[in-house]
Amino acid sequence: MNERMLDEQNLSEKYDYGEACPVSMATSILAERWTLQIIREMFLGSTKYSQFQKYMPNISPTLLKNRLRMLEENGIILRKKTATQGRYDYYLTPSGKALGPVLTEIGKWGMRFANEGMTEKQNTVYGLLRDLSGAIDLDELPDCDITIQFTFKDNPDNPRHFINIYNGEAQFCSQDLGYEVDVYITTTVEQMTKIWYGELSMHKAIESEAMLVVGNIELTNNISKWLRVSGFATGNGKFTPPA
């Protein structure tokens, strides 16, 4: 019986360490497989079941439902019915929001002590584009609308994705909305993940043609100033409650 089957066999079981210890009490809730990843996604803006599935494709639907239920039962998230029948949105409670510094320190520890082989593991295009769009430094860009097209060569079924910057806000999109493209970036999800986590410098990636950048000269010449890498790669990563 594999790990997932064993985990799903004990979905509602809450482990009791039998210790008068706050670490044991906290881990009895938070140390279950996928639990912290669900909370991570909520800090990154996910509120819908479909969004959790989109950004965490390796979690089974049954396990996801039960983890959400467990987090609700423990007062970490709030489930709220939507206008669509049978659908719910999920929100962090004050208890859940208080986990921001915990996730931040776990992320920093992971980057420092547990990062071997990390960028060789699966990364979703959607998660990568969400991270990149959220890290764009708008102060380093002209005060105008800008569209950036990413072409991921290792995602042949749907290679083209976009970050649209309009009205001072960056949003990613997997559909061509017909806007004029200002910067074209061609690479792979694997290489962009290495750049995002600081394993490969953007300068070296461009120099080696692992990342091809063409377009408006003003934007392409200064790409490393506005297309930022992960805060965890620079030591400034931080999980903050969603607005």
Can you give the pTM of this predicted structure? Answer: 0.90
CA 37 from chain centre, in angstroms, equals 9
Strand partners, 212: 186
Cα–Cα distance for residue pair 182/163, rounded to 1 Å: 11
Spatial neighbors of 53 by CB under 8 A, at least 6 apart, are 59, 61, 64
Q: Which residues contact 1 (CB under 8 A, 6 or more apart)?
A: 9
pLDDT tens sequence across 98-143: 999 999 999 999 999 999 999 999 999 999 999 999 999 999 999 9
Determine contact, residues 211/186, Cβ cutoff 8 Å: yes
Whole-angstrom distance, CA of residue 93 vs CA of residue 110? 25
Express each pLDDT in 159-218 by its tens digit. Answer: 999 999 999 999 999 999 999 999 999 999 999 999 999 999 999 999 999 999 999 999
Rounded to whole angstroms, the Cα distance separating 151 from 159 reads: 5
Is residue 82 pLDDT above 50, yes or no?
A: yes
Tokens found for residue 22: 């706050």
Reduced to 3 states, what is the DSSP secondary structure of residue 59? coil
Q: What is the pLDDT of residues 10-49, one digit of tens each?
A: 544 567 888 999 999 999 999 999 999 999 999 999 999 9
**CB contact at 8 A, 211 and 195:** yes
Among 179, 234, 229, residue whose Cα is nearest residue 202: 229
Structural domain boundaries of the chain?
3-98, 119-233
Q: Pairing mode, if any, of strands 169-173 and 77-81?
A: unpaired
CB 89 within 8 A of CB 48: yes
pLDDT for position 10: 52
Please tell me the distance from the alpha carbon of residue 57 to that of residue 64, in angstroms, as a whole number.
10
Q: Mention the CATH class of domain 3-98.
A: mainly alpha
Domain 119-233, CATH: 3.30.1050.10
Name the nearest CA neighbour of 11 among 27, 47, 35, 36. 35
The residue whose two tokens read 């910067």 is 183
Place of tokens 């670490």: 23
